[in-house]
Amino acid sequence: MTNTFTDDALGDLDAVGLTEAMRSRQVSVGEVIDAAIARCEAADQQLAAVAVDRFAAARADARRPAPGFFSGVPSFIKDNTDLAGLPTQQGTASFVGKPKPTDGDVARSMRAQGFIMLGKTRLSEFGFSGAAEYVEDDPVRNPWHLDHTSGASSAGAAALVAAGVVPIAHANDGGGSIRIPASCCGLVGMKPTRNRTPSDAVTRNMPLRIVADGVLTRTVRDTAAFLRESERVYRNPALPPVGDVRGPGHRRLKIGVVVDSISGTPTDFEHRQVLLATADKLEAAGHHLEVVEAPALPSFSNDFLDYWSTFALFFTRAGKVELDKSFDPDLLDNLTKGLAKHASRHAYRMPRSLSRLWGSQFVTKRFFKKYDAILTPTLGHVTPPLGHLKPDQDYETLIAKLIDWVSFTPLQNASGDPAISVPAGLSKTGLPIGVHLSAEQGHEARLLELAFELEEIQPFPRLVDHVGLRHQ
């Protein structure tokens, strides 16, 4: 385990608790930033979670913190998102990025909420894999067990939040990239409704916008506060507001329980047990639960792979223009190369695949006329050890492993529905296991209320509780 929790200015506070401590002057912004930097320098030797830091700039920001609810709270931006003064490397060694002259829309939104950025976090190459492993570089490690992956693609963000370096970090999600690492690292991770939160241009301009930006946190209230404050910076008038959600809801809900994945892969025993135990607790709390089939077409897994692979083809073909003149496709890993070949080979299928993916929102909309939410495992099996998804393997082996593991989360990226992963238990080897809730577009508040309720019913396992708060 890698634990940075200690009795410094951060303690074991979440982001909301930290804002309260700074407002009451129990700690200063400078002390908080110094503590986060110290924790990062200690932890990242083991975690390898930071792509590039801006510690000196963060200390300067701390002297004149921007206003906003999260004023002075340290955080990180994922390295597929633009932050002024730093390159956007996309998790790949295939080019050498140059510093960006301006913030992207995500960074501007986070700065407007008062966050101080300590740097950028690592991800799998272009976010394609569920594990941030590389052919040459060190992988991002799980702070609960350093021999296991932290999930991906928002791998570095999850590792840093779970280890206590920062209480909250930016993440984005195109097939589960917030929710997968949340489950692996015992965190709360919500993918918002399509078009709820700002995104950078590269994701806004997708033919079907599957990527949504959010955060990884250790508490439901931090995720709820982030969505509330993000909405004050940017509000999509086409969606009902999330509002200020601060606890469980009173209405009892009808929840469909999906046990096995859309791909047909059976969920492993440990995840099945955690899921059913969670379902039992929700039913005991008065909710009505029924086992159902996932609201997805039989072709969904193939359709999503067809669409997902087109982004690899795009980067492979347009890398010198879209990324940097130094881009060399020969330096891409086997997963990216394999996805690009898949897209090229099956290009004739794309119009129909894209059409069916677009139609996913109508399939789930019909489902939500009968049910208020869906409960599933977040992942298909326990968090794998490092090496399981290392991209030096042949493409067919890698993609089969990914589909078996990441089998529940892509549906909401296609449908645009919100979804949240929350911690629900630990495996026999002490690794976190998450459960996954989704609802109709625009109903983040319902999911947050359910997540608050689960947090009360079965308090989340926390790394600090298992290793104990260290004292200096």
Distance CA(324)–CA(87), nearest Å, equals: 11
Q: What is the DSSP letter of 217?
A: E
Q: What is the DSSP letter of 100?
A: B
Distance CA(385)–CA(397), nearest Å, equals: 16
Task: Find where tokens 């469980």 sit.
Answer: 248
User: One of 75, 78, 263, 415 is an active-site residue; which one?
Assistant: 78
Q: For residue 195, what are its two tokens?
A: 């078009």
Q: Is 153 a catalytic residue?
A: yes
Task: Find where tokens 């200020």 sit.
Answer: 244
Burial (CB count within 10 angstroms: exposed 0-12, middle 13-18, buried 19+), residue 7: exposed
Beta sheet of 168-173, edge-to-edge order: 168-173, 212-217, 188-191, 419-426, 432-438, 373-377, 254-257, 288-291
User: One of 75, 124, 153, 199 is an active-site residue; which one?
Assistant: 153
Burial (CB count within 10 angstroms: exposed 0-12, middle 13-18, buried 19+), residue 223: buried
Nearest to 209 by CA among 68, 412, 48: 412
Longest dimension (CA), the chain: 62
User: One of 94, 109, 150, 177 is an active-site residue; which one?
Assistant: 177
Q: For residue 447, what are its two tokens?
A: 């999911």
Q: State the angle between helix axes of 395-405 and 334-345 in degrees (0 to 180), rounded to the nearest 10.
A: 90
| CB-CB neighbours of 402 under 10 Å | 18
Distance CA(246)–CA(266), nearest Å, equals: 36
Distance CA(123)–CA(90), nearest Å, equals: 7
Q: For residue 145, what are its two tokens?
A: 């067990």
Q: For residue 309, what are its two tokens?
A: 């692979």
Q: Name the residues annotated as catalytic.
A: 78, 153, 177
